[in-house]
Chain A
Amino acid sequence: GDSVTQMEGPVTLSEEAFLTINCTYTATGYPSLFWYVQYPGEGLQLLLKATKADDKGSNKGFEATYRKETTSFHLEKGSVQVSDSAVYFCALSPASYGKLTFGQGTILTVHP
């Protein structure tokens, strides 16, 4: 079945550091890929998405590129802020819409 694997957390960074959270997936066909963010005590918000190979999703300074050859969708940000502290989830859906399969989540803490 479909699965998503994220790098183990937690990740702790200083403000303005570079962020990478690795995500790889296993799926048949051509899934859509997503990053969701969950701030403390809140629900999940869609951060960015890519629906086909080589697409780059971007939002709020975060980027991720859909790499079919390496089945990866790594999340990056050039300079993190304290307000980026949250749990980040990589996810896939097997079609253009529909249920999501999530990775285990990565807790990010950014210190001033």
Chain B
Amino acid sequence: DTAVSQTPKYLVTQMGNDKSIKCEQNLGHDTMYWYKQDSKKFLKIMFSYNNKELIINETVPNRFSPKSPDKAHLNLHINSLELGDSAVYFCASSQEGIAGLFFGPGTRLTVL
């Protein structure tokens, strides 16, 4: 009964490749997010969707493209991967009226 799930958990790939990370939440929340955690553990928001509509798009290279097919899913596609994209990517969700975000287990991306 995982609340927020992500696949894959680990992703190792070569520079220049294109990859996707998938996220699903079964909490019925209306807002979903992608966060990036760097090697120093710093967390920074990348995107947020509310009911399939993009509402936050921080300064992220346009090689990163989120897609939300429905309000329970938010996928992240990354084109032309670079070494600096290596990080842990967390999906999260929230619901209006409830303070706080619920996070997925993370996807560790390693670009070689």
Contact yes or no, B100 A43, CB < 8 A: no
**A104 CA to B37 CA, complexed, in Å:** 10
Encoded as 1 (CB less than 8 Å from any A CB) or 0, chain B from 40 to 66 comes to 111111001000000010000000000
- The residues in B between 64 and 112 inclusive whose CB is less than 8 angstroms from any CB of A are 90, 92, 94-106
Q: A44-B90, A100-B45, A104-B41 are in contact. Are A34 and B99 (CB under 8 A)?
A: yes
Nearest CB in chain A: distance from B21 CB, A: 13
SS class, residues of chain A in contact with chain B: strand
Q: Is the CB of A43 within 8 A of B103?
A: yes
- Chain A residues with Cβ under 8 A from B98's Cβ? 97
Residues in B whose Cβ lies below 8 Å from that of A38: 41
When chains A and B are docked, how far (Å) is the Cα of A89 from the Cα of B92?
Answer: 15
Chain A nearest Cβ from B83, distance in angstroms: 22
Q: Are A34 and B100 in contact (CB under 8 A)?
A: yes
Q: Which residues of A contact B41 (CB under 8 A)?
A: 38, 87, 104-105, 107
Q: Which residues of chain B are near A81, meaning CB under 8 Å?
A: none
Q: How far is the CB of B3 from chain A (nearest CB, A)?
A: 10
CB contacts (< 8 Å) of A97 on chain B: these are 31, 94-100
